[in-house]
A and B are shown apart, each in its own frame.
Chain A
Amino acid sequence: MTGRGLRSPASAVVSSVVPLLLVALATAVGASGTPSLEGTVTLMLCNLIIVLGLQVFIGNSGVYSFGQLGFAAVGGYLAALLTISAAFTALQAPDLPKLIADAQLDPLPSTLIAAAASGLLAAVVGLPLMRTSTLAIPISTFAFLIVVYNVLANWDPVTGGSSGLVSIPRTTDVTSAGFWAGAAIVVALAFKWSASGYRLQATREDEVAARSIGIGLMRERLLAFTISGTLCGVGGALAVHQSGVLSPTTFYFAASVTTVTMLVVGGARSVLGAVVGTLAVATINELLRNVEEGASVLGLFSIGETPGLAAIGLGLILLMTMIALPEGLSRGREAGELGPIRRRLRPRAPSASRPAADQPGSRPAHESAGGLRAEGVSLAFSGLHVLREVELELPPGEALGLIGPNGAGKTTLVNVLSGFQDPDSGSVFLDELDVTTWSPARLVRAGLGRTFQAGLPFAGLTVMESVAVGAMGVGVGRRRAVKIAADVLERLGLSGQAQSPAGLQPPGNQRLLGIARALATGPRYLLLDEPAAGLDDEECRELVAILRKAIQDFGCAILLIEHDMNVVMDLCSRVQVLDDGETVVVGTPEEVQAHPAVVEAYLGTSYAAGPHA
């Protein structure tokens, strides 16, 4: 990969190696310590796998799930029952299906089966759960955890009921736990850096903008939820083979709080955060637990037995982290992205002489003669008519200006055209196809891109990532998406900022970034909602030049909502005037400016002066 990649190769190596080294270090400490220390470290590594499972879903989606421990529980029970000898199984779970009861598998196959079963369950459970809203997922996943607990605790003949299972072979040692934890790190990083991982991170940054570049929220969440459930199943299976006992409370509320604490303290958004958080919280927890059991500090003070102290400490750490360091110890960054390291690893500045990469999108510019057309579109919000029988026609390759006073219905019309809002009546046609009821995601795949008045940047991604994810959103693979993004950024003059955070760009760049993101989806029709708002004259002139170039280079038609008449008159061959939800006039800029109704409508507003070119 060249310096134009999503990150420099060196940064990727550092980001992968540092967490792996931390795990190796922990494993070495455990292997060389007392049996009690080894047990503690082994259990911590099992917890780490579960926390990495949480990171895959929570970190990338930004949505909290409290149900992942349910998958650890299912993995743990299944792995236990698969490995306990038939005689012991008959005692503890007499009604278990014979196939599982008689099985006495080795650790590896039992762990793999447990992982597959947890993953499958996560996919099945996730299907309805991911349909619920961002707000409801934390609670509905919690409900799932309660359901799992309730079944495990009461289905005595199969699960051993509330007393749980004993005589589980203790086959997980610190080395195997370390190996699995390393594998989980690789899985978590691979997902985070995959096209699907980036699409999910885009939904975390802004759900609406993610829809506008074709990302299916539920689908991406479900995939991460499934991977997460699989990892949790592995962690659960390994953990029960460490402790040798299992009860319904092993993976219930307390464990859920502990693992979420680990993730949040470390920083949910990075894999490094999951590792650091687990190490930090487990260490502190262990120290507090020693104190709790009654210890003496430096042989000077002796502290009596204080149950609950460890939990108080955990709670305080979590509270202080949320208040002082809401992004966690890692600040949500991977090792290769940390301040001092980042400066050294910054990718080379791209060379301007590099030949243009793939054109965004695969479609030829003037593929069909259809165009984007609205017919008799009407829409009312609680009785208030926002659009009345609006007609609009945008032929391929043309630039159409849409102007009118505030509240005229311009943005609403763009929302209808781009599928964010269904009209009450009327139809929208894209290349003669009736697309009135299509979702935004389907429309953008069909070549209809848009930007937002509010910009809606993916603030937590880099400039490069937030443009590349536009191409990934419409299904372009990661490598090609990166090439497309590099090309778009270069044409828009943003190459220099490629590796800096999108959220920290100045307003002018934010506007361009929104346009770049939409262009990366390879649109044939691009709807721009006030791209020049908040820009000064100089920036406006640059914007016009860039948009004109985009029309030529990318061959896409543009619908431009804009208050700055200079921008509209410079760019558009036709202008449509909307007022109070109705079309006043459509024509060339000159015709429109001369139209009496327009002059009247704009009298007293900034437009009265006309273009001050």
Chain B
Amino acid sequence: MTDLAQSLIDALALGGLYALIAVGIALTYTVMGMMNFAQGEFIMLPAYALFVLAGLPFAVAVSAALATGIAIAVLAERVAFRPVRNADLAAQLVTSLAVATILQSVVSATVDVRSQSVATPVLLSESSQIGALSIPNLEILTLALTVIVLGGLGWLLYRTRVGLEMRAAAENFEMARLLGVRADRVIMVAFAISGALAAIAGVLIVMQTGQVSPTMGLTPVLVGFIAVVIGGFGRILGAVIGGLVLGVLSSLLGTYLPDGLVPFRDAIVFSLPVAILIVRPQGLLGAATGEARI
């Protein structure tokens, strides 16, 4: 019983992390219709900010990481994504791939290709005793952050003017524009939030693994994309659910899979979206589309 509860908390913490990553991807997708592969680098660069600023107080380093995430996301939008805003989906996707490659290689060239270790605060590597359970503080932090950040995002989207504008742009970009929504600003805000979410995920990942590497964003971004696909494109809530499903499944499979199959966990987890999409091609929450233009 204790074991089960323990694994469930582990699973939820991983699911929360995946949800944060997936929401960052879904946000820019809904507003701009762009699948952004560089989101992984929006996770990686803040993690390197922690590495570079390792000597400074932790709070300062984390703030810098957050600022890095926001800055790089806004910059990438301005320099690379805005010129291809009206290009087709594939062109945008390839553009984001180019941005990802450049950012990754710049870090490889300036820091190192190999991974570097980062010291994490002692407090986060300890566990807290709650009843019969011993829960790592990092998991508590991850769960708390997930709830706070996603709650805050919900408030922003549904209770503020810019949130309303973002939802309007997500529904019908051209119409929203005609009604006075400032497209450039809304997209910039979406990227800024997306960068902040990625930075938070990046910090949590570093705290968990204790190291940074130029390619550390790859797995998270793929997981995030698959979560978005599972949840249904264009649905923020779908991304949250998709992320939770993937994280919980991945974590539980790691615990309960027979020893011989554990190495193939990723193969099983990544086959899941295909299975779901066969049954529901539009994803769990996605609406059937495609008839609107007739």
Contacts and interface: CB of A to CB of B under 8 A. Distances in A.
A and B together in one complex: yes
Interface of A: 58, 62-64, 128-129, 131-136, 138-140, 142-144, 146-147, 150-151, 154-155, 207-208, 253, 257, 260-261, 264, 268, 306-309, 311-312, 314-316, 318-319, 322-323, 326, 411, 415, 420-421, 452-454, 456
14 contacts: A64-B90, A129-B274, A142-B222, A142-B225, A150-B263, A207-B290, A208-B293, A208-B294, A308-B214, A312-B101, A315-B100, A316-B98, A323-B80, A326-B87
B94 A139 contact: no
A308 B105 contact: yes
A128 B94 contact: no
Interface residues of B, number: 51
Given A139-B273, A146-B222, A318 B98 contact: yes
A524 to B, nearest CB: 22
B176 interface: no
Contacts of B84: 322-323, 326
A319 B95 contact: yes
A147 B267 contact: yes
A572 B113 CA distance: 73
A207 B293 CA distance: 11
A40 B107 CA distance: 27
B210 interface: no
Contact of A140 (B35, B104, B274): B274
B140 interface: no
Given A140-B277, A314-B101, A323-B80, A420 B294 contact: yes
B102 interface: yes
Given A139-B229, A150-B270, A208-B290, A260 B277 contact: no
Contacts of A257: 97, 101
B102 A139 contact: no
A200 B264 CA distance: 35
Nearest to A310: B105
Contact of B294 (A135, A264, A411): A411
Contacts of A155: 264
Contact of A315 (B98, B229, B266): B98
A388 B6 CA distance: 57
A264 B105 CA distance: 20
A444 to B, nearest CB: 15
Contacts of A143: 222, 226, 270-271, 273-274
A257 B80 CA distance: 18
A319 B98 contact: yes
B83 interface: yes
B101 A322 contact: no
B178 to A, nearest CB: 19
B106 interface: yes
Most buried by B among A150, A315, A322: A322
A315 B97 CA distance: 8
Given A319-B80, A319-B98, A62 B90 contact: yes
Contacts of B101: 257, 311-312, 314-315, 318
A133 B281 contact: yes
The interface residues of chain B, by DSSP majority, are classed as helix
B237 interface: no
A235 B90 CA distance: 24
A322 B87 contact: yes
B274 A315 contact: no
Contact of B105 (A138, A312, A319, A456): A312
Nearest to A306: B109
Contacts of A314: 101
A147 B35 CA distance: 21
Interface of B: 35, 80, 83-84, 87-91, 93-95, 97-102, 104-109, 113, 214, 218, 222, 225-226, 228-229, 233, 263-264, 266-267, 270-271, 273-275, 277-278, 281-283, 290-291, 293-294
Given A154-B263, A319-B98, A452-B294, A309 B277 contact: no
Nearest to A134: B89
Contacts of B104: 308, 311
Closest 10 CB pairs of A and B: A308-B108, A315-B101, A315-B102, A154-B263, A308-B109, A311-B105, A318-B98, A319-B98, A308-B105, A312-B105
Given A136-B281, A315-B102, A253 B97 contact: no
Contact of A421 (B229, B291, B293): B291
A133 B282 contact: yes
Nearest to A161: B263
A260 B102 contact: no
Nearest to A133: B281
Contact of B98 (A138, A151, A306, A322): A322
Nearest to B279: A131
Contact of B264 (A151, A452, A454): A151
B233 A322 contact: no
B278 A128 contact: yes
B274 A150 contact: no
A557 B228 CA distance: 46
Given A133-B233, A307-B109, A326-B91, 6 more contacts: A140-B273, A154-B263, A208-B291, A312-B105, A312-B106, A323-B84
B264 A264 contact: no
A154 B108 CA distance: 27
A133 to B, nearest CB: 5
Nearest to B221: A142
Contacts of A146: 222, 266-267, 270
B97 A456 contact: no
A309 B80 contact: no
Contacts of B102: 311-312, 315-316, 319
Contacts of B278: 128, 131-132
A407 B162 CA distance: 33
Most buried by A among B97, B275, B283: B97
Contacts of A261: 94, 98
A162 to B, nearest CB: 10
A134 B113 CA distance: 35
Nearest to A317: B98
Nearest to A418: B294
A150 B277 contact: no
B150 to A, nearest CB: 22
A207 B277 CA distance: 19
